[in-house]
Amino acid sequence: MINVIICAAGLSNRFGSNKLLEKYGKSVILTESIRPFLEIDEVEKIIVTANEDDIKLYEKIIRKNGFPIEYRIVVCKGGETRSESVYNALDYLTDNANYVLIHDAARPNISVELIKRVANELRENVCVLPVIDVPNTLYTKNLELRDRNEFFQAQTPQGFPRQLLCDAYDDWFEDKTTYTDDFSLVQHYRRYATFKYVQGDPTNVKITFRGDVKKNLSGIGYDIHTLEKSDTEFMPICGLQVPYDKKPKAHSDGDAPLHALMDAILSAIGEPDIGHLFPTYDDKYKDISSLILLDSVMDLVKKRGFVINNVSIAIILEKPRISPYIDEMKDILSAHMGLDKNSIGITSTTNEGSGLVGSGDAIAALATVSIY
């Protein structure tokens, strides 16, 4: 039988908060890292290491997801280092465990196929490491070039015979040297063992920084403005002053497509709409360019750590004909949003003579965004 140790006692300093509680997949990173192991019949027990203050919380989250915490999963106190956490977890191995898999809780994309690939190679005195090729050119910090074909990138789960692993950790306990993974620790203390690698999975990435979590959020926004005679003979559409004898009635410049876009962005990241952020009773927004407001919204997006993947804007009006200006509008949005033009879609249509828009007395716009 196989026991699994999930290392979940890290401090997530580079992430800025406990990354294992970050929403991911069906639940959070922690549970998604556990889930695939539950599909392996040979896995008798899963031991999750945790900081002492997180034990009850982790148990609650695991139980909330319907995982069998009462008989197949246990959460135990970890240590100040990874090796200390694994050493503590070894006390919870079952009597039937012949082999142990050790996995990073920060790798939620682990697949059942990779787990089986590692487990199938486990034998007495055989330790197994999943690896992937290095795709980039390698330099030392002294700018000395290295041949990337001589290197692998290590992943988890790493597999070990139970007794060999326990003996190696007993020796480690005597000096407590720092190791970044368990394979290197066992290599040092059990050189007689056989060490082999199997093909890893490029999607089995370890989440370290906040930007590593792509949330794939989406938002939708809508705006409409009635039109009145223009004294400037220009109408703002997507930040461009389009020649026309009417303009929107609005507290700001009334750029309906940009208003719809901003509301779509704010909706996606869970913020209030532009009516709350830039209220009409505040004179500082009187006749303000919507591009300035868009810049403020983008600052908020960056502050929250999100990245816009693409935007799509549908503009509905009878006149003027805006198709000759769409490319220029994309240039403007690209500059203000830091987004490639190919990720910006702008279309226009009429309302077929129906309603205020159809009579030429209003402009409406609908926008959608994709954010991660």
Q: Of all residues in the chain, what percent carry a pLDDT higher than 90? A: 80
pLDDT, tens only, 210-233: 777 766 789 999 999 999 998 888
Other C-beta atoms within 10 Å of 190: how many? 18
78 and 44 belong to one structural domain: yes
In the block, tokens 């900081």 appear at: 51
- Residue 152 has what pLDDT? 93
248 and 351 belong to one structural domain: yes
332, 178 contact by CB (below 8 A): no
Instruction: Supply the CATH number for residue 154's domain.
Output: 3.90.550.10
- Residue 215 has what pLDDT? 63
44 and 56 belong to one structural domain: yes
Whether 90 has a pLDDT exceeding 90, the answer reads yes
Domain count of the fold of the chain: 2
Domain that holds residue 259: 214-371
Of 211, 229, 245, which closes a domain? 211
Of 160, 179, 211, which closes a domain? 211
126, 193 contact by CB (below 8 A): yes
- Residue 210 has what pLDDT? 75
Other C-beta atoms within 10 Å of 170: how many? 12
What average pLDDT score do residues 79-88 get? 95
260 and 197 belong to one structural domain: no
pLDDT, tens only, 284-320: 999 899 999 999 999 998 887 678 989 999 999 999 9
CA 196/CA 202 separation, integer angstroms:
19
Q: Is 10 helix (H, G, I), strand (E, B) or coil?
A: coil
Record the tokens describing residue 332, joined without a space: 């403007």
What is the residue-averaged pLDDT of the chain? 93
Structure letter (DSSP) for residue 214:
-
pLDDT category, 24, cuts 50, 70, 90?
Answer: confident
142 and 263 belong to one structural domain: no
Other C-beta atoms within 10 Å of 279: how many? 11
Q: Measure the CA dihedral 333/335/337/342, to 10°.
A: 70
329 and 184 belong to one structural domain: no
What would the DSSP string read from start to end of 106-149?
T-TT--HHHHHHHHTT-BTTEEEEEEEE--S-EE-TT--EE-GG
99 and 46 belong to one structural domain: yes
In sequence order, what are the beta bridge partners of 98? none
247 and 234 belong to one structural domain: yes
Other C-beta atoms within 10 Å of 284: how many? 7
What would the DSSP string read from start to end of 50-117?
E-GGGHHHHHHHHHHTT--TTTTEEEEE--SSHHHHHHHHGGG--TT--EEEEEETT-TT--HHHHHH
The candidate with the shortest Cα–Cα distance to 117, out of 197, 185, 38, is 197
- Residue 372 has what pLDDT? 77
What average pLDDT score do residues 76-104 get? 96
Whether 208 has a pLDDT exceeding 90, the answer reads no
pLDDT, tens only, 154-184: 999 999 999 999 999 999 999 999 999 999 9
202 and 299 belong to one structural domain: no
Other C-beta atoms within 10 Å of 40: how many? 16
Of 187, 211, 235, which closes a domain? 211
220 and 202 belong to one structural domain: no
219, 151 contact by CB (below 8 A): no
- Residue 214 has what pLDDT? 67
Record the tokens describing residue 125, joined without a space: 């005195």
Mention every residue, 6+ apart, whose C-beta is less than 8 A from residue 278. 252, 285, 288, 293, 296
pLDDT category, 256, cuts 50, 70, 90?
Answer: very high
187 and 225 belong to one structural domain: no
127 and 245 belong to one structural domain: no
* Helical ranges in 221-289 per DSSP H: 256-268, 274-277
